[in-house]
Amino acid sequence: MKKPGFCPRKRNLEEDNKLKQQTIAKEVTYAGVGLHTGENINLTLKSAPVDTGIVFGRKDIPGHPKVKASLENVSSSTREISLKTAGVEIRTVEHVLAALSGLGIDNCEVELDGPEPPVGDGSSLFLVELLKASSISTQEKPRHLLKPKKPIWIVDQDREITLLPDDKLTITCMIDFTHPAVGSQAASFTLTPETFVNEIAPARTFGFLEEVETLKQQGLARGGSLENVIVIGPERILNDSLRFDNELVRHKILDLMGDLSLLGTPFYGRITAIKPGHSLNVKMARKIAEEAKVPPLTGELDVTAIQEILPHRYPFLLVDKIIELKPGSRVVGIKNVTINEEFFNGHFPGHPIMPGVLVVEALAQTCGVLLLSDVENRGKLVYFAGIDKVKFRRPVLPGDQLRLEGEPIKIRQRTGKMFGRAYVGDKLVTEAELMFSIAG
């Protein structure tokens, strides 16, 4: 089989969280038959603004209603993934979602003049060719990235999907059919756009000949043929040839990628899927979404919780406790200054005084907790970008307890400016305007 000839820019998935969101550069169109409805349908892929996600539109319905590809809008996951909102339904979206996800496209409008996308040749290959004709466009806002920190799994009898934490996305899949032409198949890939294009996208959907009449009676598979489905007969596969020896399990990976993209964000992890299907895939996506929810940081944080946010460690972690945290508005930290501090060994050892720059650093760390308490910033780093209007009013001595207060002056996506004050008791000892850069 001829390779699609489209190799998007290779990217290191370890750096995905540094990449910006992507859409397509220009509008592209494809016409073909729908797998289940059998209708002739036009599909148009359009660029979309940042944070749009993947949205399907029905051009054939007055008002051109749209349905977002999200877990909340899944209406069926039995034989296909269908999306529905306000009475408007889009069927069989998984191959489109897999193509967009596999190529790292975050925002796209998929316009249709019928109830489901064309099936093409039964794979995502025709969509790769469409996207090749359009090309990918980088947008200004960083992409979101989900990185689960603990194992997540779901089991349904002899079927299961497991996700383990990792710094890249790897999918291992196994299927097992009691059929002489299929039997057991397995495949494993570390996913990049190049891997998706060459190893996953060409894999076609498949079905058993004995199920065809039942499916058609249910209003399904009316557009299916040997041109767009691998058909498995009683003894053998009826198509002339396969694209891969294990094409069936590769298509299961394609479906899994499309189904999990309903999370609405790319993610890392090592996935192992045994006998997956749309229903189990969607249940797994829901569980990932639930497990990965980041609770808001408010109230008090002990030193262990602070170390979950800040990278600093002894002897340079200068905040012992957060006693007040109101995301976006205020933070108050405590630093207990003892004679055992490392810096007292060399900073006026005969008359120990806490260096003023370290009081400012303690303020900066406290303000950093506020900046990084935002869910969007969790796991990132803050760096000093500037200090202004610093005033040292009183010395800080061993035995003092520093009360460190920070309030935002201006917070943007990648930068922050805060006003900090440090007190001993009710006495102001240091104040400053602190500028930060948020990285990662």
380 or 15, which is more confident? 380
Q: For tokens 């899949």, name the residue.
A: 173
In a domain, 2, yes or no: no
pTM of the model: 0.70
- The reply to whether 333 and 278 lie within a common domain is no
- The reply to whether 357 and 258 lie within a common domain is no
In a domain, 4, yes or no: no
In a domain, 297, yes or no: no
| The two structure tokens encoding residue 214 | 């039942």
147 or 65, which is more confident? 65
Cα torsion 406, 410, 416, 421 to 10°: value is -20
Q: Among 382, 347, 364, which residue's Cα sits nearest to residue 421? A: 364
Arithmetic mean of pLDDT, 356-361: 96
Q: How much is the pLDDT for 11? A: 43
Q: How far apart are CA 131 and CA 436, in angstroms?
A: 39
Q: How far apart are CA 374 and CA 309, in angstroms?
A: 11
Residue 139 binned pLDDT confidence (cut-offs 50, 70, 90): very high
Q: How far apart are CA 287 and CA 289, in angstroms?
A: 5
Q: How much is the pLDDT for 141? A: 84
Q: Which of 291, 320, 345 is the last residue of a domain?
A: 291
Give 200's DSSP letter: I
Q: How far apart are CA 113 and CA 95, in angstroms?
A: 17
- The reply to whether 267 and 373 lie within a common domain is no
Q: How far apart are CA 198 and CA 175, in angstroms?
A: 21
- The reply to whether 208 and 327 lie within a common domain is no
- The reply to whether 357 and 420 lie within a common domain is yes
For the chain, percent of residues with pLDDT exceeding 90: 74
In a domain, 417, yes or no: yes
CB 255 within 8 A of CB 276: yes
| The two structure tokens encoding residue 261 | 């993209």
- The reply to whether 132 and 270 lie within a common domain is yes
Q: Which of 258, 291, 324 is the last residue of a domain?
A: 291
Arithmetic mean of pLDDT, 356-369: 95
Q: How much is the pLDDT for 30? A: 97
In a domain, 298, yes or no: no
Annotated catalytic residues are: 278, 347
In a domain, 3, yes or no: no
213-228 burial, b at 16+ Cβ within 10 Å, e below that, comes to eebeeeebbebbeeeb
In a domain, 296, yes or no: no
- The reply to whether 144 and 232 lie within a common domain is yes
CATH number, domain with residue 245: 3.30.1700.10
For the chain, percent of residues with pLDDT exceeding 70: 94
pLDDT at residue 184 greater than cutoff 70: yes
Domain that includes residue 308, residue range: 303-439
DSSP result, 207-266: EEGGGHHHHHHTT-STT--TTTSEEE-SSSB-SS--SSTTHHHHHHHHHHHHHHGGGSS-
- The reply to whether 207 and 273 lie within a common domain is yes
8 or 203, which is more confident? 203
Q: How much is the pLDDT for 89? A: 95
- The reply to whether 133 and 162 lie within a common domain is yes
Q: How far apart are CA 274 and CA 247, in angstroms?
A: 16
pLDDT in tens, 225-247: 999 999 999 999 999 999 999 99
| The two structure tokens encoding residue 146 | 């989900």
Helix axes 94-102, 247-260, angle to 10 degrees: 80
Average pLDDT over the chain, rounded to an integer? 91
- The reply to whether 287 and 318 lie within a common domain is no
Q: Among 387, 383, 386, 388, which residue's Cα sits nearest to residue 438? A: 383
Residue 296 binned pLDDT confidence (cut-offs 50, 70, 90): low
Q: How far apart are CA 107 and CA 93, in angstroms?
A: 15
pLDDT at residue 5 greater than cutoff 90: no
Write down the H helix ranges in 88-227. 94-102, 125-134, 193-195, 212-217
CATH number, domain with residue 335: 3.10.129.10
Q: How much is the pLDDT for 18? A: 52
In a domain, 429, yes or no: yes
CA 324 to chain centre: 31
CB 261 within 8 A of CB 169: no
- The reply to whether 378 and 279 lie within a common domain is no
| The two structure tokens encoding residue 356 | 């003023």
For the chain, what is the domain count?
Answer: 2
Kindly give the pairing relationship between strand 152-156 and strand 159-164: antiparallel
Q: Which of 244, 262, 291 is the last residue of a domain?
A: 291
Q: For tokens 């002739």, name the residue.
A: 40
- The reply to whether 59 and 39 lie within a common domain is yes
CB 148 within 8 A of CB 288: yes
